[in-house]
Amino acid sequence: MLRFSLPMSQSLLDIARQTIDLESRSVAALADRLGPDFERAVQALAQTKGRVIISGIGKSAVIAQKIVATFNSTGTPAVFMHAADAIHGDLGMILPEDVVVLISKSGESPEIKTLVPLIREFGNTLIALSGKLDSYLATHADIVIDTVVEQEACPNNLAPTTSTTAQLVMGDALAICLMKLRGFRSDDFARVHPGGALGKRLYLRVMDLAKANERPLVKSDASVQAAILEMTQKRLGVTAVVDGEDRLLGIITDGDLRRMLEKGMDWNGMKALDIMTPSPKTIEADALAVEALEVLQDHSITQLVVTAEGRYIGIVHLHDLVREGLH
């Protein structure tokens, strides 16, 4: 097994902390340098009738892909174009009304210097995220966003580290400003992100879960034996107690039955109304499933009665929410 040595004065944790400190200070410095060009960039991106084409070379291309993904999931249509591929035919994806964003630390790479005049000839608005404000890219762009960093976290000051973090943060800043400007809300996010636990938190309703379960219920004048039979058959550990119009009066849980047995109560002749828990915790059928989870957690219970305008609909159990990844 290979072993590597470090300078006696440094540990791995020291190096990690120095890296994080350097990058965090560089990111903080970006905020102090935000100015009118940033606002112009946000307005140009918001007002375009086309798409946002984002491009870069090397590590900047990787950052461009991440920014594209963030834009698309937050309401700003965006397309990634690799700078090297662009000058070999992919320029054809740029439409007249598109806004182009080029990302580069140096602003002087051959691909960028070839690409810039072509975009200028097309007449598209060109936004630069540049780590060098006197670079070819910065001096030929319509709008320049400053992503200058004093030093890379790399000990040789070579590998893109701090500079790519700055690019990524600035891309996030643009995306969030666009979200606010467009009034992009959680339900909008759900429409473009329906998969996974994130999407479910934003669109899955209590009714979607309750309708998959049995619907245990007894009338208020039912015998305790009938309530036990209903709970046993429906296997949810609970039954609702309702009136003749299915309005919820209370619930009986397996815990209620255990407590009754512990007290030695004679249930012969007793009705569901006599042993039920009145005014149980409920949730409306059209509520988000994640709201049901919050109620369950806040009250340390495992099931909720689902209602619609006071009428009994069904039961949602903690297991239903866990199964959907909401935990």
For 177-187, the pLDDT digits (tens) are 999 999 887 76
Per-residue pLDDT band at 265 (split at 50, 70, 90):
confident
The secondary structure of the chain, three-state, reads: CCCCCCCCCCCHHHHHHHHHHHHHHHHHHHHHCCCHHHHHHHHHHHHCCCCEEEEECCHHHHHHHHHHHHHHHCCCCEEEEEHHHHCCCHHHHCCCCCEEEEEECCCCCHHHHHHHHHHHHHCCEEEEEECCCCCHHHHHCCEEEECCCCCCCCCCCCCCCHHHHHHHHHHHHHHHHHHHHHCCCHHHHHHHCCCHHHHHHHHCEHHHHHCCCCCCEEECCCEHHHHHHHHHHHCCCEEEEECCCCEEEEEEEHHHHHHHHHCCCCCCCCEHHHHCEECCCEEECCCEHHHHHHHHHHHCCCEEEEEECCEEEEEEEHHHHHHCCCC
> Residue 5 has what pLDDT?
58
Domains of the chain, first to last: 12-184 (3.40.50.10490), 206-323 (3.10.580.10)
Is the pLDDT at 62 greater than 50? The verdict is yes
Is the pLDDT at 326 greater than 90? The verdict is no
Per-residue pLDDT, averaged over 124-141, amounts to 97
Name the token pair of 115. 């690409």
Please give the share of the chain, as a percent, with pLDDT higher than 90: 59
> Residue 195 has what pLDDT?
61
Summary mean pLDDT of the chain = 89
Per-residue pLDDT, averaged over 235-263, amounts to 87
Is the pLDDT at 3 greater than 80? The verdict is no
Asked if residue 92 lies in contact with residue 119, where contact means CB atoms within 8 angstroms, the answer is no
Per-residue pLDDT band at 17 (split at 50, 70, 90):
very high
Residue from 204, 173, 216, 175 nearest 315 by CA: 216
Residues in the chain: 327
Per-residue pLDDT, averaged over 7-36, amounts to 89
Is the pLDDT at 105 greater than 50? The verdict is yes
Per-residue pLDDT, averaged over 276-287, amounts to 90
Q: How far is CA 86 from the centre of its chain?
A: 31
Asked if residue 241 lies in contact with residue 272, where contact means CB atoms within 8 angstroms, the answer is yes
Top pLDDT among 3 and 135 is at 135
Please give the share of the chain, as a percent, with pLDDT higher than 70: 92
Highest mean pLDDT out of 31-40, 241-250, 298-307: 31-40
> Residue 9 has what pLDDT?
67
pLDDT of 190-224, one tens digit each?
Answer: 666 666 666 666 678 889 888 888 899 999 899 98
Per-residue pLDDT, averaged over 286-306, amounts to 89
Per-residue pLDDT, averaged over 103-114, amounts to 96
Per-residue pLDDT, averaged over 230-244, amounts to 89
> Residue 1 has what pLDDT?
44
Per-residue pLDDT band at 255 (split at 50, 70, 90):
confident
Phi and psi at residue 248, to the nearest 5°? -70, 130
CB-CB neighbours of 145 under 10 Å: 26
Top pLDDT among 281 and 266 is at 281
- Least confident residue range of 42-56, 160-174, 253-267, 284-298: 253-267
> Residue 277 has what pLDDT?
87
The span from the CA of 265 to the CA of 256, in Å, is 12
Bridge partners (DSSP) of residue 126 are 100
Name the token pair of 253. 């849980």
Is the pLDDT at 324 greater than 50? The verdict is yes
